[in-house]
């Protein structure tokens, strides 16, 4: 960057800051809250764990109540928790999650009804331990959705009905659910039929990672069109935002948002986090878990886990810029985006600390491990502010930042 360009960027940022300081006090207070800053645009949600719900993490609870107006169950509404054994159900954590959200008047998202991962093996076997036949598997799915979606009908606002069933090439993934039913289209259509039947007033979504990839995007579009042609209700698409500092390309994200919106569906940005750690191959966001003990050796740790003591200034800056870049897209597309949800309140609770390489120190969210705001938060808030207080010709950068733990 030339010194002239740098000066222009600093000048633009100074203009924004002056206008912020000139705003009324109540407006500045609102600008410090994510949900208030984007209240006319979309919901701002977050995944919550049982510690937050049960009051064991009051600092995170305080952040949630200030910044977010939607919540997603991180794990407690998955099959392995709700129905770990054929003769055992456990709704205690899920009930607490739903009550937590209703008490605070939050938009409550159930996650998820049909997913191959975190679903017990017995789901797919008969009483003799043999693989279920198609009709038996569909009936098991019906019974499960009746029990779970029916229990929370009128209390859960939306369900991720089917999760992660389309492969990167646009075909159906070879998952336990697809194998058991034998037909991906039939699986998805029956799942949405049952969800519509047992949760008639609830919004119904399909949720997936890499939904920005053109081939996968086209596969999701084909799947949705078949649902619609069959007269089966689907209300929205959740685009999981497990992204990085330099991927995916913003053009691909925007193209996917447009493609899903063209189907007449709501678009949600779900599970948003920005990975700052080195990748072992381009785009390794989902799919290859490097759990082998060799990756815990010092020579690997130095490369794969470089920020154990905190983020360097330049990486904090890049993270802030990336979040601002993404939220500018979301803000431009606010007519079709209904919700943007972070996948965790703070860095310490992020799944990215253990994926794709276990036991690393990642920094993908807006609040650090001490529950303190990171420069990325200011960058996101500036997106809402700049649209209201500056002309679209000013592209304000986030402020220069210092390293934080």
- 20-47 per-position pLDDT tens digit: 443 443 344 445 899 999 999 999 999 9
- Residue 278 is predicted with a pLDDT of 83
Is the pLDDT at 16 greater than 60? The verdict is no
Q: Which of 245, 248, 351, 363 is nearest to 305 (CA)?
A: 363
The number of CA neighbours under 13 Å toward the Cβ of 138 is 16
Band (pLDDT 50/70/90 cuts) for residue 279 is: confident
pTM of the model: 0.86
Instruction: For the chain, give the longest Cα–Cα distance.
Output: 74
- Burial string for 320-353 (b: 16+ CB within 10 Å, else e) reads bbbbbebbbbbbebeebbbbbbbbbbbbbbbbbb
Q: How far, CA to CA in Å, does 135 sit from each of 46, 87, 126?
A: 37, 21, 12
Is the pLDDT at 10 greater than 50? The verdict is no
Of residues 246 and 292, the one with the higher pLDDT is 246
Is the pLDDT at 57 greater than 60? The verdict is yes
β-partners of residue 110 are: 159
Active site residues: 271
> pLDDT tens digits for 118-172?
999 999 999 999 999 999 999 999 999 999 999 999 999 999 999 999 999 999 9
> Which residue has 């995944």 as its token pair?
47
Q: Which residues contact 103 (CB under 8 A, 6 or more apart)?
A: none
Q: Do the Cβ atoms of 329 and 250 come closer than 8 Å?
A: yes
Q: Which of 227, 210, 226, 214 is nearest to 259 (CA)?
A: 214
Q: Is 270 helix (H, G, I), strand (E, B) or coil?
A: strand
- CA–CA dist 353, 20 (Å, integer): 36
β-partners of residue 107 are: 70
Is the pLDDT at 401 greater than 50? The verdict is no
Helices 313-332, 250-261: axis angle to 10 degrees equals: 30
Q: Which residues contact 117 (CB under 8 A, 6 or more apart)?
A: 164
Band (pLDDT 50/70/90 cuts) for residue 7 is: very low
CATH superfamily label, 34-383 = Glycosidases (3.20.20.80)
- CA–CA dist 68, 43 (Å, integer): 8
Band (pLDDT 50/70/90 cuts) for residue 290 is: low
Of residues 300 and 337, the one with the higher pLDDT is 337
């Amino acid at each position: 960057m030339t010194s002239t360009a740098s000066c222009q960027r600093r000048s633009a940022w100074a203009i924004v800051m002056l206008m912020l300081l000139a705003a009324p006090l109540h407006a500045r207070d609102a600008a410090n809250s994510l949900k208030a800053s984007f209240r006319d645009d979309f919901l701002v949600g977050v995944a919550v764990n049982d510690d937050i719900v049960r009051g064991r993490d009051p600092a995170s609870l305080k952040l949630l109540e200030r910044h977010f107006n939607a919540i997603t169950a991180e794990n407690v509404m998955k099959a392995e928790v709700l129905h770990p054994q054929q003769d055992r159900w456990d709704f205690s954590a899920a009930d607490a999650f739903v009550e937590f959200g209703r008490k605070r008047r939050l938009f409550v998202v159930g996650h998820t009804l049909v997913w191959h991962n975190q679903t017990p093996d017995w789901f797919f076997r008969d009483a003799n331990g043999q693989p279920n036949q198609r009709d038996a598997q569909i009936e098991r799915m019906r019974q499960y959705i009746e029990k779970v979606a029916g229990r929370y009908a009128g209390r859960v606002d939306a369900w991720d009905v089917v999760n992660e069933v389309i492969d990167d090439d646009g075909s159906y993934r070879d998952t336990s659910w697809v194998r058991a039913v034998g037909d991906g289209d039939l699986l998805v259509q029956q799942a949405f039929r049952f969800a519509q039947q047992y949760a008639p007033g609830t919004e119904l979504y399909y949720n997936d990672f890499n939904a920005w990839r053109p081939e996968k995007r086209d596969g999701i579009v084909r799947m949705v069109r078949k649902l619609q042609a069959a007269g089966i209700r689907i209300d929205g698409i959740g685009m999981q935002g497990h992204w990085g500092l330099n991927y995916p390309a913003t053009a691909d994200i925007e193209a996917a948002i447009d493609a899903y919106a063209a189907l007449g569906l709501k678009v949600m940005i779900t599970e948003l986090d920005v990975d700052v750690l080195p990748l072992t191959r381009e785009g390794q966001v989902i799919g290859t878990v490097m759990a082998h003990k060799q990756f815990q050796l010092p020579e690997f740790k130095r490369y794969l886990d470089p920020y154990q003591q905190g983020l360097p200034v330049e990486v904090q800056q890049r993270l802030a810029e990336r979040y601002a870049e993404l939220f500018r897209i979301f803000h431009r597309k606010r007519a079709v985006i209904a919700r943007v949800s972070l996948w965790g309140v703070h860095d310490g609770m992020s799944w990215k600390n253990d994926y794709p390489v276990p036991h690393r120190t990642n920094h993908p969210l807006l609040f650090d491990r001490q529950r303190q705001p990171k420069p990325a938060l200011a960058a996101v808030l500036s997106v809402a502010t700049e649209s209201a207080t500056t002309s679209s010709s000013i592209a304000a950068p986030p402020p220069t930042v210092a390293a934080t733990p």
